[in-house]
Each structure stands twice: as structure tokens, then as C-alpha cells.
Structure 1
Amino acid sequence: MLHHPTHLSRRGLLAGGLGGLAVLATGCDAVGDVLGGEEGPGTSGAVSPTAPAADADGVLVEEAAAAIAATAALAAATGAAVPALDRIGRRLSRLHDAHARELGWSDTAERPSVTGGRAAALRRLQKAEARLQDHLAAAALEAESGALAQVLASMAAAVAQQRAVLS
């Protein structure tokens, strides 16, 4: 059975075009609002995840960055204390350090003491990574800023991916 394509009338095309222009104009206004006003020369139009956040978001950033730094310290300490986990510890520590820097955090957490064998150290690291992932996901849901929510959710996803490799 042959189906004939539906022909678009000029009115339909014109209405669709005007609707598309309205959506584009509204979208540009929304981006301008997120960026804090009019775009000037040199403004790329991208939303910066580390732009100054609202007070509530500032607290979220500090808490998330502190949790990331603490988990990075544990990962580094685990790798240093258990040679079999050195590669995993360094990889996780680098990931967390990059995330902390993205959030503007420069303080380093004190390295905890890692005792026990490989299995115990790995379990402790896995639990810490799970807590961090949960913390980042919850912070992403609480964030007032959409850009910050995206950054935190992306960080939670990166931790989840690394946890999958650990298992």
C-alpha cells in the first residue's frame, strides 16, 4: 500500500518558522539571564560551572569539595599503604583532585591511616567512593544553579564509572 506524503501548506510552514524563531529568541533570553545580563565582546555564551553561586549553592560547593578532597586523600593513602592498590588509588586520587579544582577547592585533606590487608583497604575505599557518589548526586538535586547541578551530576557519574571498574 502506497502512502502519499503529507504536503505542508505555506501557512503551516510560516507558522512553524515563526514558532521556531520565538523559541530561539526565548532561549537566547534565558541564556542571557543565566549568564547575568547582556553578552558583551569576548563572552563565549557558555555557562561557567565555577561562576559565583548563590549562598545555598556556595555551601553545597564547599561541602562537596571537602567530601571530594577527603575521598582523594583516602584513595592516595590506600594506594601508598597497599602496593597492590597503588594504581587504583592514584587513578581515583587524580580524578578527585581534578573535581576539587573544578569546584575551586585548593585545600588538601589530611591523609588517613590505612591499615589491614588489600581486601579490607579495598572495601573501605569502595565504601568511601559510594558515599561520595551519593553525596554528589544529592548535592546535584539540591543545587539552585542548573550549571552547578550538571557539574555535580557529572562528577557523581564519573565516580560511579570508577566504582564499576573497582568491582
Structure 2
Amino acid sequence: SRLGGLDILVNNAALSHRPTTLAETTDELFDAVLAVNTRAVFRTMRYAARRMRDGGRIVTVSSVNTARPAPGIGAYAASKAAIEQLTAVAARELGARGITANTVSPGATDTALLRSVNPPEALEAVAGMTPLGRLGQPADIADVVGFLTGPDGRWVTGQNLLATGGLA
């Protein structure tokens, strides 16, 4: 209240894991990934639904892995698919207040998290699969988020923008 209220929420929680088949995914791994990637996002969105000022903006960061699933990332992909749906529901529930809610699904973006779970040769292979021939950079995703949270994004809600360099 001291700052005047909540105008923008960007949910960018991510706990990834090394490739693990569904058969080898433990309950503990699955629960840990969903606790960070889904439950934390749910809690911040619930808070925003209660406290955000009219005309606010919500952006949730998901992943290309919901549009283009790959073996070994079942827990991660499931957690990100869940937040896409939570965000779509928020768009419907909060739209009457002028609040927009959208998802941004980045492709492979050159971050410490991506490098921590992928060997360099895998990153090179993914970069080669994009029409732009490179990994995304954090600024590529930040610009999309900036558009959605700014005045030019006022008519966009309930969408999942794939910022993948053409990968999906």
C-alpha cells in the first residue's frame, strides 16, 4: 500500500531438471518442479487477482516445451502447461477490470539455467534448428514482456506468445 498498489506481475519462476524419462521421474522431482513452476505462480496470481489495480498487466513465462515437447522433460513441460491455463483463466476472470493476462513461451534462451541442464553440443543443435540460427537472448524475451506490460499491449489478453526464433 505504501507504493500505491500492484500494476504489473511477471511470473518467471523456473526449476528445470536434467532429462529424466517419465518412468524414471520420482515423485520428489515431480513435486519439486511443480512447487516452483506451478504452485508459486498460482500463489502470485491469486495475490494479483486480489490486489492488482484496474488496468494492470500479468505476464507468465512458460516454455516452448509445451508446444514442442521433448523426451525427458515431462515434469517441466507439465508444470509450464499448467501455468498457461492459469493465465488464460486469469485473462477471463480479470478482464472486466481492464487487467490483461498473457503468457510468453520462450524458445531456447541463452541463460545460466539452460546451460546448467544442457551440454554445449545440445545447445548448438537447438540453435541450428531455429530459422534465425541462434539461441534467444534474455533481451529478446524481455522486449516481448515489455510490449505486453506496456500501453501498446492493452488489447492483447489471454494469449500465449511463442518467442522461439521460429522453433515452434
Normalization by structure 1: what TM-score? 0.28
Greater RCO structure (CA 8 Å; 6+ sep): 2
Q: As a proportion of its length, which structure holds more strand?
A: 2
Normalization by structure 2: what TM-score? 0.28
